[in-house]
Amino acid sequence: MPEIIVYAAEGRTVEQKKKLLKAVTVAVAESFEIDANSVTVSIIETPKHHKAKGGVPFDER
């Protein structure tokens, strides 16, 4: 029973997150040749002011 965790900056819509959850589930189920009900996917969101790339916070990009 694989579990996938996606880390992302906050700001995506509920529909975008649902689309990602479904796509990741399908990809893992097909790749591992298992039932999709065996796959768990979680999205961990971080506030943009708590995440930086190249030292620049995401909320300042």
Active-site residues, by number, are: 2
The HSE-up count of residue 3 (CA atoms within 13 Å, CB side) is 4
Q: Which residue has the tokens 């959850």?
A: 21
**Sign of the torsion angle spanned by Cα atoms 13, 15, 19, 25:** positive
